[in-house]
Amino acid sequence: MKVLMLSADQFEDTELLAPLYRIREAGGEVDIASLSAGEIAGKHGYKVQANRAVADVNAGAYDALVLPGGKAPAALRDDAAVQALARAFMEADKPVAAICHGPRILVAAGLMNGRRATAYPEVGPELEEAGADYRDEAVIVDGNLITSRVPDDIPAFNRELMKKLRG
Amino acid sequence: MKVLMLSADQFEDTELLAPLYRIREAGGEVDIASLSAGEIAGKHGYKVQANRAVADVNAGAYDALVLPGGKAPAALRDDAAVQALARAFMEADKPVAAICHGPRILVAAGLMNGRRATAYPEVGPELEEAGADYRDEAVIVDGNLITSRVPDDIPAFNRELMKKLRG
């Protein structure tokens, strides 16, 4: 089980760390990719190593994509390599799990039209404008796509992510 | 599945939140007890509600005890009700999972003599002085007792905690 996370400075700390720890608990491996490889820092000061640069990542090497929230997604969403990665996972129908502001990356990549999803409340209008069916629920599973709103939703988010990863 | 956590201000945020989310993911319920009920804040600024005061807690209502780290354990360890709770879980042979500085509560309650355990490295000498067999490993399981060192050990810590909770 190999999972890719896309993030950057100002990530929402628990939204990156809790899924990271959960996947590792199940014996999975996680690569963290950012615009360049190196240390990234969360809003609350936790630091993790982004061990990949997005331009060097091959989506085919991974079973799933996780998009944590915070301010990181806004820093990533206009990057062509980030958008291409998001498209590759969605087109391959691999699990894509986005929480909080994470769905912004999927909006920017033009992937939300006709999808049922949730997100951080202030991101709701962006999802609707992108053609998504936005719901205010702890977790929404629409095919391969898993979305949640806030850190308190992590139990439901991780539960659905692990179900998909176990196949 | 009902779990008690003992913590206080200056808890290590991920060491409280990641097990909390993990237990909830599995459908379990968590009560957080502190010296008095009310909001407590972690070292990194996360806030959670302590919904119980330790003096009002009945250990018999719970299946396991979790002791997160940070500076919280030092604020709790001299309290008689905290020590009585720790003793009640250990004497009933219920799972007790302590990470980082969490084992300090077990040391203060006189529960570590002859036990194999790990902890945050600087707590190692305190464990040895208390008669424990201290090891520098990600997780040590000695009977009902699960101990870990640091946030990076959370995958192993939660894995062993969930094994015990599933019985």
> Does residue B167 have a pLDDT over 90?
no
**Please, what CATH class does the domain formed by A2-165 belong to?**
alpha beta
What is the rounded average pLDDT for all residues in chain A? 98
Catalytic residue selected from A94, A101, A104, A149 = A101
Strand locations in chain A, DSSP E? 2-6, 29-34, 38-41, 47-50, 52-53, 64-67, 96-99, 116-117, 133-134, 139-142, 145-148
A96-127, pLDDT tens digit by residue? 999 999 999 999 999 999 999 999 999 999 99
Rounded to whole angstroms, the Cα distance separating A136 from A41 reads 29
> Does residue A147 have a pLDDT over 90?
yes
B102-127, pLDDT tens digit by residue? 999 999 999 999 999 999 999 999 99
Which pLDDT band holds residue A46 (cuts at 50, 70, 90)? Answer: very high
A75-100, pLDDT tens digit by residue? 999 999 999 999 999 999 999 999 99
Strand locations in chain B, DSSP E? 2-6, 29-34, 38-41, 47-50, 52-53, 64-67, 96-99, 116-117, 133-134, 139-142, 145-148
Are A131 and A113 within 8 A, CB to CB? Answer: yes
Are A80 and A105 within 8 A, CB to CB? Answer: no
Q: Per the CB < 8 Å rule, is A18 touching B13? A: no
Rounded to whole angstroms, the Cα distance separating B3 from B47 reads 19
Mean pLDDT of A22-37: 98
Residues 6+ apart with CB under 8 A from B12: B42, B43, B68, B69, B70, B72, B99, B100, B101, B151
B56-103, pLDDT tens digit by residue? 999 999 999 999 999 999 999 999 999 999 999 999 999 999 999 999
Residue A124 amino acid letter: G
Please tell me if residue A12 touches chain B, with a CB cutoff of 8 Å. no
SS3 A151: helix
Whether the predicted model's global pTM rises above the 0.95 cut: yes
Query: Per-domain residue ranges for chain A?
Result: 2-165
Rounded to whole angstroms, the Cα distance separating B109 from B63 reads 19
Strand pairing category for A29-34 and A2-6: parallel
Rounded to whole angstroms, the Cα distance separating B76 from B12 reads 14
Rounded to whole angstroms, the Cα distance separating B149 from B120 reads 4
Q: Per the CB < 8 Å rule, is B14 touching A22? A: no
Please tell me if residue A148 touches chain B, with a CB cutoff of 8 Å. no
Which pLDDT band holds residue B136 (cuts at 50, 70, 90)? Answer: very high
Nearest CA in chain B to A159: B25
Residues 6+ apart with CB under 8 A from B167: none
Count the residues in chain B: 167
In this prediction, residue A48 carries a pLDDT of: 98
Q: Per the CB < 8 Å rule, is B14 touching A21? A: yes
State phi, psi for B137 to the nearest 5 degrees: -135, 160
SS3 A95: coil
Rounded to whole angstroms, the Cα distance separating A109 from B86 reads 52
Q: Per the CB < 8 Å rule, is B46 touching A21? A: no
> Does residue B161 have a pLDDT over 90?
yes
Which pLDDT band holds residue B155 (cuts at 50, 70, 90)? Answer: very high
